[in-house]
Structure 1
Amino acid sequence: MNKRFIEKELFLGTQLELVDRIVSNTQKKIKKAYYAINADCMLKYWSDEEYQKIINMPAHITYVDGMGIIFAQKFLKLPIARERIATTDLFPALVKHLQNHNSLLRIFLLGGKNDTAEIVIKNFGTKYPNVNFVGSHHGYFDKNEESNRVIQYINSLNVDILFVGFGNPIQEKWVNNYFDQLNVSTIITCGGLFDYYSNNVKRAPLILQKTGLEWFYRLLQEPKRLYKRYLFGNFNFIKNVFLIKLKSSQEKVMGDY
């Protein structure tokens, strides 16, 4: 597959601006999916044609969840995101906004093992009692055989905002496949978000988040599971960005003749 950076226009605003847009679109019943993109996602984008097409769909919103993307935007002289929007930060920011505005928007959490999502609801329900969490379902169901049943359950609850945490790119492909069947205005894919807020996984210190080293903290927590993703993956991401830069420079030189 020809390696290029993301073809569509990314959301480049702040987290606060994204929260405002999500709430506004949801209230207006403007149906959209929201996808995060980081260095690991870009490796899948370059190797998985189906996932690439989903990310490039102009109707949906893709935001920057990774300092690697911002570094690449600067290096390639592309429009630069004003800040990194980690989905693990977007979720509590959105919940806090709904609490402060006494919103009645209905939220459903789909994904995680066993009762992980339910624990998240209990934890956030204690802190934000006015937020309207209406249900959850684990993510370990047969996506081919049981998706219709799960979707019927979600639709029966008149959900406004659906968080889907199956891991990338399974979650994006699932959302794309069942987008028309889901009677939900806003769908946000969220990876392992529920593990963080059910206290299964600890978040990196803020200084590591801001300097682009959150991946290193995660690697220290789960080295056996994540070493390929972060050690080999980060190298491949940097290599591909340099190749894109080189190709762009060569095309510019050829164009000058």
Structure 2
Amino acid sequence: MSRIKTFIDNEVFLGSQRELLQIIINHTRDKKKKAYYAINADCMLHYWNDEAYRNIINQRENLIYVDGMGVIYAQRFLNIPTAAQRIATTDLFPALMAELNERKSPFKIFLLGGKDDTAEKVRKNFSKKYPNVEIVGAYNGYFDKKEESKKVISHINDLEVDILFVGFGNPLQEKWVDEHFHLIEASTVLTCGGLFDYYSNHVKRAPIAMQKIGFEWLYRLLQEPKRLYKRYLFGNIKYILKVLTLKLVK
């Protein structure tokens, strides 16, 4: 497994999506409980400014992988070990479903996150597309985290879930998983941001060419400029300046 320290204080998975899929499947099969967290430029801004989030990402037992060309460009610029490819969670999810469908895997999957019936729509869509995959439930992400988390987790545990996807947005989702990890009985927990919005047809993905060169953020910005301009315009500038600072003090 290709893992080595990069510009966070933890090892980062640097292999391919195919390799990561195999790791997830093997760990789930062997009941090796693990959380999987993706990092991109926006995540790195939280990492540098949010101590609680930083401590979660730095936990050795968590597997951290690269979902963002901004991180790969920074790795190259800083001349440190670089990820073999960007592993977008929006690509990882259907790839995992396809692999499990082909294997007729017995794993049970639960989708947690999104507004209203967004996750349920994804569950129905993917259950039809991958009939050999057992997506046993879905629940929206706008429940009261303080009052209802234990009830939601109890429901997930009652379904004997093996793989749990959590899409609350970064860093809320990572903090929630970390806080409740001891209660969650699923072997595999993957945070997935706005994944469910894409596969419920609420949000369109950027063309492949824009994804490959790291401009998927621009496509998203053009779709929702009022909501995303701070994150993508100001955030990208802050990220670039931080990377330049790292280069100067290296």
TM bucket, shorter chain = over 0.9
The answer to whether the aligner puts 1:89 opposite 2:91 as a matched pair is yes
Determine helix, strand or coil for the equivalent of 1:62: strand
- State the identity %: 64
CA distance in 1, matches of 2:73, 2:90: 20
Please give the TM-score of this superposition, normalised by the length of structure 2.
0.97
1:69 to 66, 71, 84: 71
1:53 is aligned to: 55
Code of the residue aligned with 1:231 in structure 2: it is L
2:7 is aligned to: 5
Shift of 1:212: 0.6
CA distance in 1, matches of 2:124, 2:109: 13
Structure 1: gaps spanning 5 or more residues: 249-257
The answer to whether the aligner puts 1:44 opposite 2:38 as a matched pair is no
CA distance in 1, matches of 2:138, 2:125: 13
1:176 is aligned to: 178
1:255 is aligned to: none
CA distance in 1, matches of 2:7, 2:20: 22
1:212 is aligned to: 214
The answer to whether the aligner puts 1:186 opposite 2:188 as a matched pair is yes
Code of the residue aligned with 1:66 in structure 2: it is G
CA distance in 2, matches of 1:166, 1:28: 27
User: Deviation per CA, 1:63-93, whole angstroms, max 9, x where unpaired?
Assistant: 0000000000001111100000000000000
User: Deviation per CA, 1:189-248, whole angstroms, max 9, x where unpaired?
Assistant: 000000000000000000000011000000000000000101110010000000011111
Please give the residue correspondences for 1:1-257 in structure 2 after superposition, counting only pairs within 5 Å. 5-248=7-250
Determine helix, strand or coil for the equivalent of 1:84: coil
User: Deviation per CA, 1:7-42, whole angstroms, max 9, x where unpaired?
Assistant: 111000000110100000000000000000000000
Determine helix, strand or coil for the equivalent of 2:52: helix
Shift of 1:5: 2.7
Aligned residue pairs total 245
User: Deviation per CA, 1:77-130, whole angstroms, max 9, x where unpaired?
Assistant: 111000000000000000000000010100000001111101001111111111
Higher-Rg structure is 1
Determine helix, strand or coil for the equivalent of 2:90: helix
Code of the residue aligned with 2:138 in structure 1: it is S
Code of the residue aligned with 1:101 in structure 2: it is R
Determine helix, strand or coil for the equivalent of 1:109: strand
CA distance in 2, matches of 1:78, 1:184: 34
Code of the residue aligned with 1:73 in structure 2: it is Q
CA distance in 2, matches of 1:171, 1:94: 20
Please give the TM-score of this superposition, normalised by the length of structure 1.
0.94
CA distance in 2, matches of 1:246, 1:5: 14
Code of the residue aligned with 1:138 in structure 2: it is N
CA distance in 1, matches of 2:45, 2:222: 22
Code of the residue aligned with 1:202 in structure 2: it is K
CA distance in 1, matches of 2:115, 2:77: 39
> Aligned-residue CA RMSD in angstroms?
0.8
Structure 2: gaps spanning 5 or more residues: 1-5
